[in-house]
Amino acid sequence: MKTGHYVYVRPDKEQDNATIKGWIAKVLEVRAGDNAHVFLRVLWMYRPEDLPLGRQPYHGEHELIASNAMDVIDAQSVDGKAEVNYWDENEDSTIVLDPTKMFWRQTVDFWGKQKQKQSHTLSAVRRHCIERTPCNPDEGVIQCEYVILGAMRIQSTSFVAIPIAPPASSVLVCFTLFANRPLTSHVLI
């Protein structure tokens, strides 16, 4: 375990049927008095369903929410290293999410500005598409215009996305229409 690693932490009791099992934390610091007394200062990562607002439609199946909730835990409670990626939703980002891996893009502030009582304030997520809704990465995104597949329909004259295979397929062609320019297209799988 090193600073910056994400780890699985053994929970106190069995959990529900959530996709993400166990607790996840980010290691901030490792301290040891000796080999038998090793402690980690960690920030907790939360599953959306563990927060008061619960899972929202835009949360991906393997999505976590980073928090400012910090603890010191015994290193012996760690079950192993966890692979967690940060998803940067900026337009120029080239990161492609693996749908089977855990990721985070949102934070929760447990203490708020007053630092006296818990607030559970979630950070904003980027809104995409003409419908201005957050993207659920499990539904897929057409990168050329950040169109959410779940909201797919003809959106004015700026672009048209057309399925080119049976409905169960995820192959789409995105046509970008520009005034006085040739039609351009992108095939998305």
Residue type, 71: D
pTM above 0.75, yes or no: no
Q: What is the chain's Cα-based Rg?
A: 21
Helix (H, G, I), strand (E, B) or coil at 75: helix
Q: Residue-wise pLDDT tens for the chain (189 aa)?
A: 799 999 999 987 766 666 677 899 999 999 999 999 999 999 999 999 888 888 888 888 999 999 999 999 999 999 999 999 998 877 666 667 787 899 999 999 887 655 555 556 777 787 766 667 777 777 765 554 444 455 554 444 444 444 444 444 444 444 443 344 444 444 444
**pLDDT attached to residue 155:** 42
**pLDDT attached to residue 37:** 94
Contact 102, 62 (CB under 8 A): yes
**pLDDT attached to residue 92:** 63
Contact 51, 70 (CB under 8 A): no
Residue ranges of domains in the chain, CATH in brackets: 1-125 (2.30.30.490), 126-189 (no CATH)
How many angstroms separate the CA atoms of 147 and 65, rounded? Answer: 23
**pLDDT attached to residue 96:** 72
How many angstroms separate the CA atoms of 143 and 162, rounded? Answer: 15
How many angstroms separate the CA atoms of 135 and 129, rounded? Answer: 9
Residue 162 neighbours by CB under 8 Å, 6+ apart: 172, 173, 175
